[in-house]
């Protein structure tokens, strides 16, 4: 596994632990549907929260959250629609981003709730 995959897995683990500490109930990690992957599906009260996790070693090329493309948003929408349908859920869905900028052993976290509204 290369360095970026190791950092990505660590970022997802940190995000999961952070969400649990905030009272979220983790439903599934790394949910795949067709070409889409949802990093974390969680419940927060009556909301189904889709969390995209991004990590970068610097902000030289922009903040990590700026790398969530329109295409990625559409894929996340497609995947969560399938998840909701397959599990016969009647819930409101929110899309969040948790990003990390890593400087040595310092992981700077940013949790953006309602980060985007995917397009149809």
Q: What is the pLDDT of residue 72?
A: 82
Count CB neighbours of 90 within 10 A.
7
Q: Residues 18-36: what's their mean pLDDT?
A: 95
pLDDT value of position 6: 75
Do the domain assignments include residue 95? yes
pLDDT at 3: 67
CB contact at 8 A, 58 and 13: no
Give domain status of residue 31, yes or no. Answer: yes
The predicted pLDDT at position 17 comes to: 96
Task: Write down the H helix ranges in 22-116.
Answer: 70-86
Distance between CA atoms of residues 93 and 51, nearest Å: 11
> 56 in a domain, yes or no?
yes
Q: 69-115, pLDDT tens digit by residue?
A: 778 888 889 999 999 999 998 899 999 999 998 887 888 888 999 88
Q: Give the per-residue pLDDT at 119.
A: 59
Pairing of strands 25-33, 36-44: antiparallel
**Residue 120 resides in a domain:** no
- Is residue 69, in this structure, part of any structural domain at all? yes
Q: How far is CA 119 from CA 73, 75, 76, 77, 78, in A?
A: 7, 10, 10, 8, 10
**pTM (two decimals):** 0.85
The pLDDT score that the predictor gives to residue 115 is 84
- pLDDT tens digits for 30-77? 999 998 999 999 999 889 999 999 887 655 565 656 566 778 888 889
Q: Which residue has the tokens 């189904």?
A: 48
Q: What is the pLDDT of residue 85?
A: 93
Is residue 40 in a domain?
yes
Could you tell me the residue range of the domain that residue 96 belongs to?
3-112
Question: What's the total number of domains in the chain?
Answer: 1
Q: Look at residue 83 and tell me if it is in a domain.
A: yes
At CA 63, angle to CA 55 and CA 110, rounded to 5? 65
CATH number at residue 28: 3.40.1350.10
């Amino acid at each position: 596994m290369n360095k970026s995959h190791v950092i990505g897995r660590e970022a997802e683990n940190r995000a999961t632990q952070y969400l649990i500490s905030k009272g979220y109930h983790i439903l599934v990690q790394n949910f795949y549907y067709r070409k889409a992957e949802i990093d974390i599906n969680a419940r927060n009260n009556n909301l189904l929260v889709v969390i995209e996790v991004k990590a970068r070693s610097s902000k030289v090329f922009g903040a990590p959250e700026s790398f969530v493309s329109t295409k990625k948003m559409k894929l996340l929408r497609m995947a969560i629609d399938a998840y909701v349908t397959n599990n016969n859920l009647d819930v409101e869905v929110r899309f969040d981003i948790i990003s990390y900028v890593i400087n040595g052993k310092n992981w700077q976290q940013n949790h953006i709730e309602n980060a985007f509204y995917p397009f149809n």
